[in-house]
Structure 1
Amino acid sequence: MRDIAMEVYEKMKVGSTAWIRPIAAKGDTVETFQGVHEQARQMADEGLIAISTVKRQEDGLIDAIRILRLA
C-alpha cells in the first residue's frame, strides 16, 4: 500500500495545508484509503502534522483528510 500521507507531506511547505484524497489513477479507492487516517494520526503523534478536518461519506468511510504541516 502506498504511503499517501507521507507523499502529500513531502510535497508541502512548513505551515501550509493540504487535502489528502484517494487518487483513482494510482489505484486508490475509498475503501483502501481508510488506512491513511491511521498513517496521518501517527504523523500527528510525531509532531509532523496537525489534522484539521476529516471528511466522511454518508456511510462513514473517510474520503478526505485536511492536514497542516508543522515540521
Structure 2
Amino acid sequence: MRDITKEVYDKMKVGAAAWVRPVAAKGDTLESFQSAHEGAKLLAEEGLIQIVKIQREVGGLIDAIRIQRLG
C-alpha cells in the first residue's frame, strides 16, 4: 500500500500547503484513502506537517486532507 501523504510531503517545500487526495490512475479508492489520514497523523505527531483541514464526503469517508509542511 502506498503512503500518499508521504509522497505529497516529499514533493513539498517547507511552509508550503497542499491537498492530499486519492488518485484513481494509481489505483486509489476512497476506501483505501482512509489510511492516508493515519499517515498524516503520524507525520503531524513527528512535527513534520500540520493538518489544516479534513474534507469528508456525504457518507463520512475522507476524500481530501489539506496539509502544511513544517519541517
TM-score range relative to shorter protein: over 0.9
**Deviation digits for residues 15-39 of structure 1 (CA, Å, limit 9, x no counterpart):** 0000000000000000100010010
For 1:38 and 1:3, how far apart are their aligned partners in 2? 10
Match of 1:19 in 2: 19
Stretches (4+) displaced over 3 A = none
Aligned length: 71
Q: What is the TM-score normalised by the length of structure 2? A: 0.99
Percent of aligned pairs sharing the same letter: 63
Secondary structure at the counterpart of residue 59 of structure 2 = coil
**Deviation digits for residues 6-63 of structure 1 (CA, Å, limit 9, x no counterpart):** 1000000000000000000000000100010010000000000000000000110000
Q: What is the TM-score normalised by the length of structure 1? A: 0.99
Match of 1:28 in 2: 28
Unmatched segments (≥5 aa) in structure 2: none
Unmatched segments (≥5 aa) in structure 1: none
Which amino acid is the alignment partner of residue 36 of structure 1?
Answer: A
